[in-house]
Chain A
Amino acid sequence: GQQLNQSPQSMFIQEGEDVSMNCTSSSIFNTWLWYKQDPGEGPVLLIALYKAGELTSNGRLTAQFGITRKDSFLNISASIPSDVGIYFCAGQLKGAQKLVFGQGTRLTINP
């Protein structure tokens, strides 16, 4: 079953706005990853987080590994049209050799 709750499921914003999405779980994770998927393509890694509390930026993107190790968020500042796509969180459960994916957040930007 699904062990990651990703929200929101979809977002409709104006160009230039900031975006925030998150993933939560009742389980503890060793690793959090954020991917973006464009139509007709596979997910592409945006940011990888390996330690609780870690805050990492990649250009306009910032992600954090929650202190409790049960959540993570992704922020996008000053959104642009090419940010459109589906964003997935993924995590490696403590003690498991497996990556679990969230259901995705579909981002739509009105120019």
Chain B
Amino acid sequence: DAGVIQSPRHEVTEMGQEVTLRCKPISGHNSLFWYRQTMMRGLELLIYFNNNVPIDDSGMPEDRFSAKMPNASFSTLKIQPSEPRDSAVYFCASSLDGWREKLFFGSGTQLSVL
């Protein structure tokens, strides 16, 4: 079975450029989560969707970050404009339904903003 699929695996960009990260959750999963991982702050939840609707976006750092889930099989996380402090590994995870269910993580996107 295919797990959570993220693309790209690596992204190197210059400060000020727009970055779009993509995620395909596991088929049949109703909940999708975007996390950011850094050495300093560990794993932080950015936003959580349930049935394609954003439920909690309190972790989104600022207006430069936006996330969409146009359908049950696709989500994007966009950073515009990007800054060096956005450099991190961004993970997408999905679950059958909400927090009580087990979260399955993708392999992540390693983002470097120069």
Contacts and interface: CB of A to CB of B under 8 A. Distances in A.
Interface of B: 4, 33, 42-45, 48, 55-56, 91, 93, 98-100, 102-108
8 contacts: A42-B91, A42-B106, A45-B102, A97-B48, A99-B33, A99-B45, A99-B99, A99-B103
Contacts of A40: 107-108
Given A98-B56, A101-B43, A103-B42, A41 B107 contact: yes
Contacts of B98: 97
A72 B106 CA distance: 25
A98 B93 CA distance: 13
Nearest to B91: A42
A98 B99 contact: yes
A31 to B, nearest CB: 7
Interface of A: 2, 31, 33, 35, 40-45, 48, 50, 88, 90, 92, 97-99, 101-104
Interface of B is mostly: strand
A2 B42 contact: yes
- Per CB-CB distance, the 4 closest pairs between chain A and chain B, nearest first, are A42-B105, A101-B43, A103-B42, A43-B105
Nearest to B4: A42
Q: Count chain A CB atoms within 10 A of each CB in B48, B98, B100 and give the residue with the most.
A: B100
A41 B42 contact: no
A97 B99 contact: yes
Nearest to A45: B102
Contacts of A43: 43, 91, 105
A56 to B, nearest CB: 13
